[in-house]
Chain A
Amino acid sequence: MPELDVSIQPPARLKLMTTLTAVSEAEFATLHDTLQVSDSVLSKHVSALVAVGYVNSRKGIHAGRRTTWITLTAAGRTALSTHVAALRELIAGVE
């Protein structure tokens, strides 16, 4: 039975990682707008996920503006799949 991942358990992190599965790379500002969380909260979650190797973060500059691009790693994708499977089993257990 798949197990829940503590690193992805906060709903904001689950939303962040699930959103990243739709694209190869997303800009910090785009994620901020999509997830509708503050910059500081998003930055904290990104840092936590970077620390466990689930996402990568890189800096860039576009038109003189500093940008941060977030990418889901292969390990993060695997962890997300396992976590979602565990959540589905949890839900299926009561249905």
Chain B
Amino acid sequence: MESTGGWPTPEEAAVALAEAEASRTMLARGVVLPPFVDGAIGAAIAVQIATTALGLADIGRWAGWLLPAGVVFVLVAGIELARFRPSTGVRPGGFAGRVVGAPATVASTSYCAVPRRGGVRTGMAGGALRGRRRDGLRVQRSPMAPNLPGRAGDTRPGRIGRGAGRAGDPRGRRPGAAAGRAV
């Protein structure tokens, strides 16, 4: 069907549109993902998630692995994109942005930025932890509130302060605590 003379009749127009749509559908159906794309990208994302989870659980120890995890994902995504085009003969619109990058584009960018902020957070966390006692009570060190519980040096019974209630340290031990143990 290769007539170009004159305008098409309605029947010819309908046939032309139907054939064009059929060709488009045929091409779209022929586009398939190369093998192991899902598995490779899934594994890369799993590495990211695991590293992030570990990083959140133990910031100082695992934060340094967040950047390599992001690099691993970008590397895997690049390889899969490079594999896709020659194997299918087409480049679908939005494949990189919506299929490969969508699950983790923003996440990868964020993760790559995390180590720098992670160091800051680690320092902040360390500072906060230094201000906590082993029993989890926050030590109040504000000079503006000298009578608040936990002031450094405050060893009055019932107060939370440095040395208060510490095992083996009679200072600050609550009345009756020793008696209770003695009974």
Contacts and interface: CB of A to CB of B under 8 A. Distances in A.
B90 A23 contact: yes
A52 interface: no
A62 B82 CA distance: 11
Interface in A20-42: 21-27, 29-31, 34-35
Contact of B8 (A19, A25, A87): A87
B10 A93 contact: yes
Contacts, number: 87
A1 interface: no
Interface residues of A, number: 32
A88 B17 contact: yes
B29 to A, nearest CB: 10
A84 B93 CA distance: 21
**A23, A35, A63, most chain B CB atoms within 10 A:** A23
A75 B60 CA distance: 55
A88 B13 CA distance: 8
Interface string A72-94: 00000000000010011011011
B131 interface: no
Interface string A39-50: 000000000000
A35 B23 contact: yes
B14 A91 contact: yes
Interface residues of B, number: 30
Contacts of B7: 4, 9, 90
A30 B20 contact: no
Contacts of A93: 10
A72 B13 CA distance: 22
A27 B92 CA distance: 12
Contacts of B31: 23
Interface string A9-23: 111101101110111
A63 to B, nearest CB: 7
Given A10-B2, A11-B2, A84 B90 contact: no
A94 B10 contact: yes
Interface in B1-49: 1-4, 7-8, 10, 13-17, 19-21, 23-24, 26-28, 30-31
Contact of A34 (B8, B14, B15, B26): B26
A87 B30 contact: no
Interface of A: 4, 9-12, 14-15, 17-19, 21-27, 29-31, 34-35, 62-63, 69, 84, 87-88, 90-91, 93-94
